[in-house]
Structure 1
Amino acid sequence: MAEEFRLRSVAVAVYGPAALFGLAEGSMLPVVAISAIDRGATTSVAALIGALIGIGALITNIPAGILATRVGERKSMLLAAFVSAVGLALCLVNIGSGQSALVIYGAGVLLIGAAGSVYGLARQSYLTEAVPLHMRARALSTLGGTMRVGLFVGPFGGAAAMQIWGPAGAYYLSLVAVVAAGVVAYRVPDLETTEEHRAAAASITTWGMAKQKWRVYATLGVGILLLSAIRQTRQTVVPLWAAHLGLSPTVSSLIYGFAGAIDALVFYPAGKLMDRRGRRWVAVPSSFVLGVSFVLMPFTHGPVLLGLVAMVMGFGNGIGSGIVMTLGADVSPTVGRPTHLGIWNELADVGTGLGPLLLAAVTALAGLGLGIVASGLVGFAAAGAMWTWIPRSARRVRGVVERT
């Protein structure tokens, strides 16, 4: 019963806003490119504006760690909700024409990406502090799963809102969701810290943390980079290969949806396994299964086989829900944890950016099939890194945490 109570005790504080932020992002993401084109963007410029969400996160991860260290996790979540609301308001502004309208819209998208980075780090740090070690993986896997549920539901909610208010409806729904997340975060109690702890945390610098934990970043951090690369690429390969096979957009969307459903169903059992047997029991299979699914995909020649491989891919990704956050928390120091998590998330986001670039580069040189296989090899490399550098049991994980 203690386990159930502890998880319920953080449900409103962390999982509620996570679902709302996921809903907000899922609602607006499908219409970003279309909105940019409506404001006069070319296809390439629209793609660049869509990438601003990731760019915003990439440039904000380390500052987000510094911010959470200075002002605390709760205030960081509140600030993230406010900045995200400002970004959405800019996306709704449709004044001017041509370049000026695109600049305003692009600034809004960039702010939304930056706010997501701040909020993600703050909720991860908050949950790491609030939940006991023996339940950490379950708590963080549930956090990742909750966000995915929001992302899954968001496009449907956005579509319904657009039926009522037109293209702006998706942004209205996102705005309501982030304001609600801010209201919930406002009611979250601050974590208890001593003056000595705050003073010590304030003295931590990003460079100092990098020197302190460089061995971790150069080993396990590289594994996280590789895993993040293949996880991001998976969002691209299913629709690309479906189009290569000549499948209709409707069939492609159904395949993607089934894979997403499998993804969203397995996060809690995986977190429980990590807590009981160790992180390797999930991180290695997740990376390996993702690699296998990529290698198998070019051998599919119809919707049924592609759907089965996509569901295997969804399973591999789903069991790894929360693994990046969990491993980052395991190797984090007690003092200066947000600063460390900012560096950790930066490594993950670098991988997120490099994964699709690798697919694009190999596809341009050797074709889509070999591009997908090359991306699959990244999954095998990630599995090897996880096997080598993650402690082999839950007991050894506790030992690592206690030493940090």
Structure 2
Amino acid sequence: MSASPESFSLRQIALPAFGPSLLFGMGEGAIFPVLALSARELGASSAGAGLIVALVGIGSLLANLPAAALATRYGERRAMVGAAAVSLLGLALCLLAPNPWIFGAGVLMIGVSSAVFLLARQAFLIEAVPLHMRARAMSTLGGVMRIGLFIGPFAGAAFIHLMGLQGAYWLSVLAMLGAGAVSLAIPDLEPRAAPGAAATPPPLSMKAMMRRHARVLLTLGVATALVSALRACRQIVIPLWADHIGLDAATTALVYGLMGGVDMLLFYPAGKVMDQHGRLWVALPCMLVMGLSLLAMPWTTGFVSLLAVCIVLGFGNGIGSGIIMTIGADASPREGRTVFLGLWRQITDLGGSGGPLLLSGLTAVASLATGITAIGGIGLVAAWMFWRWLPRGRVVR
């Protein structure tokens, strides 16, 4: 699978690199819209159904550091196959669950498998792709996952029409089987050794890795956690503000879909800009555009103005496709890389979990507009942090 850096093309590894991610994203996208409905059918309250949906993120958060240990010990390919198997077991529990407790356990396993799969996929690409194409690879990975998450609900709707609510889970089963099969067929990767490199030293422990790389984790790591917070809040504020200004569910879905379409179109150009000009050329405008869009959202009063703001918001998010993974890959050391990436994902996932909590708290004590404005301000803070600590120019090692 290796090729000289000068002759390398992403097409050479398109199927093994991005095929499993597309299928995995499609499998998750198929079930995400129906998790709450399934929980309600099993007797969960509205609050309980919300908690069960949140178990996807909780499972991912709990699994980041163990995922790093698994990928380090067994390799990225085996970790991806194992993640697909765990996801299949979780889906089986969801299909057979007699009560919300068993169903919740299955959802938690799906969240755990997602963390293992994504970390192993990122580590695999870091080794497989030359440095001068790293950002394009990471942005394509992020874009492919988004495409899968976008296709999943539509394909799931067709299965639901034929089989009922369980059809979404059966589609996810097929997608996860495909992701596992493609991952299993990938040959083991031989890391590109630097000329004259010495034997690989023993991997660092989590504690030693945190101590050695504390500065980058507390600067760029925190900045990317703020990116994750903005993205998580974006999913929440659009339907809430649309409802606040009187838009119905169908109109809100149209706004969200158009925004997602703009988002998906930009992942490869964004990666190319990062590779050719440097990460700051994308990270800074991404945060400025998203932050200013959220600051403008409370001033919208109807469909047209909200759609315009959301299109700009989708543009900002789209040009930032893969930015968290790319910066994490750049910062990661060769020795103990998966351990570092596990810590990196833990920090960014904490941002993704903390952002909605902050939004909820500010909305409760002040107003929805205040909460949205504060989240927009976080985007400007992240932009300043990138300006302060993200290296200028192209990454060269």
Q: Give the TM bin, normalised by the shorter chain.
A: over 0.9
Per-residue deviation, 1:358: 1.0
Classify the secondary structure of the residue corresponding to 2:164. Answer: helix
Select the structure that is richer in helix: 1
Q: Secondary structure of the equivalent of 1:40?
A: coil
Tell me: CA distance 1:283–1:113, structure 2 relative to 1, closer, same or farther (3 Å): same
Deviates more, 1:224-233 or 1:50-59: 224-233
Counterpart Cα distance in 2 of 1:169 and 1:265 = 29
* Structure 2 equivalent of residue 169 of structure 1: 167
Which residue in 1 is equivalent to 2:188?
190
Alignment of 1:105-124 (within 5 A): 105-124=103-122
SS in 2 for 1:15: helix
Distance 1:234 1:60 in 2: 24
Give the structure 2 partner of residue 256 of structure 1. 256
- Distance of 2:31 and 2:198 partners within structure 1: 37
Contact 1:201 1:336 in 2 (8 A): no
CA–CA separation in structure 1 for the residues paired with 2:167 and 2:386: 43
Question: Does the 8 Å CA contact 1:77/1:123 hold for their aligned counterparts?
Answer: yes
Q: Distance in 2 between matches of 1:203 and 1:134?
A: 26
Q: 1:198 and 1:180, CA in 2 relative to 1: closer, same or farther beyond 3 A?
A: farther
Q: How far does residue 227 in structure 1 lie from its aligned partner after superposition? A: 1.1
What is the CA distance between 1:203 and its match in structure 2?
A: 3.4
Map Cα deviations across residues 74-123 of structure 1 (whole Å, 9 max, x no partner).
0000000000000011000133xxxxx11110010000000000000000
Distance 2:203 2:299 in 1: 55
* Secondary structure, counterpart of 1:167 in structure 2: coil
| Counterpart selection for 2:100 from 83, 99, 102 | 102
Q: Which amino acid in structure 2 is aligned with residue 352 of structure 1?
A: G
Partner of 1:98: none
Counterpart-to-counterpart distance in 1, 2:261 and 2:185 = 32
Mapping of residues 319-334 of structure 1, within 5 Å: 319-334=319-334
Once the two structures are superposed, residues 179-219 of structure 1 have per-residue CA deviations (whole angstroms, 9 ceiling, x without a partner) of 00000000101111599x99846532111111111111011
Q: Could you tell me how far 1:370 is from its partner in structure 2?
A: 1.0
2:27 aligns to what? 24
1:364 corresponds to which residue?
Answer: 364
Letter in 1 for 2:28: E
Instruction: Determine if contact 1:267/1:319 at 8 Å carries over to the other structure.
Output: yes
Aligned counterpart in structure 2 of residue 89 of structure 1, from 69, 89, 92: 92
One-letter amino acid of the structure 2 residue matched with residue 72 of structure 1:
G
C-alpha contact 1:121 1:342 (8 A) present in aligned 2: yes
Report the CA distance between 1:29 and its aligned residue: 0.2
Question: Counterpart in 2 of 1:354?
Answer: 354
Q: Which amino acid aligns with 1:46?
A: A
Which residue is equivalent to 2:67?
64
Partner of 1:138: 136
Give the CA RMSD over aligned residues. Answer: 1.7
- One-letter amino acid of the counterpart of residue 254, structure 1: L
> What runs of 5+ residues in structure 1 fail to find an aligned partner?
96-100
2:102, 2:199 → 1: CA distance?
Answer: 39
AA of the residue aligned to 1:205 = S
1:201/1:36 CA distance change after superposition, 3 Å: farther
Q: Give distance in 2, aligned partners of 1:369 and 1:74.
A: 45
Q: Aligned partner of 1:127: which letter?
A: L
Residues 52 and 104 in structure 2, CA contact (< 8 A), matched pair in contact too? yes
1:305 aligns with 2:305: yes
Instruction: Give the Cα separation in 2 of the matches to 1:33 and 1:339.
Output: 34
Aligned CA distance change for structure 1 residues 373 and 151 (closer, same or farther; 3 Å): same
Q: 2:5 and 2:211 mapped to 1: Cα distance?
A: 38
TM-score (norm 1): 0.94
DSSP 3-state at the match of 2:391: coil
The change in CA–CA distance for 1:186 and 1:388 in structure 2 (over 3 A counts) is same
Distance in 2, matches of 1:377 and 1:249, equals 28
The counterpart of 1:41, out of the listed 37, 44, 59, is 44
C-alpha change, 1:194 and 1:154, in structure 2 (3 Å) is closer
Q: Find the aligned partners of 2:42 and 2:190 in 1 and give their Cα distance.
A: 48
* Equivalent residues, number: 391
Distance 2:203 2:341 in 1: 16
Query: Are residues 199 and 45 of structure 1, via their aligned partners in 2, closer, same or farther at CA, if it must alter by over 3 Å?
Result: farther
- TM normalised by structure 2 equals 0.96
Structure 1 residue 6: Cα displacement: 2.3
- Residues in 1 aligned to 2:77 and 2:201: alpha-carbon distance in whole angstroms: 16
The runs of 5 or more residues in structure 2 that have no matched partner are: none
Q: 1:163 and 1:385, CA in 2 relative to 1: closer, same or farther beyond 3 A?
A: same
Would the aligned equivalents of 1:3 and 1:135 in 2 still touch at CA under 8 Å? no
Q: Which residue of 1 aligns with 2:223?
A: 223
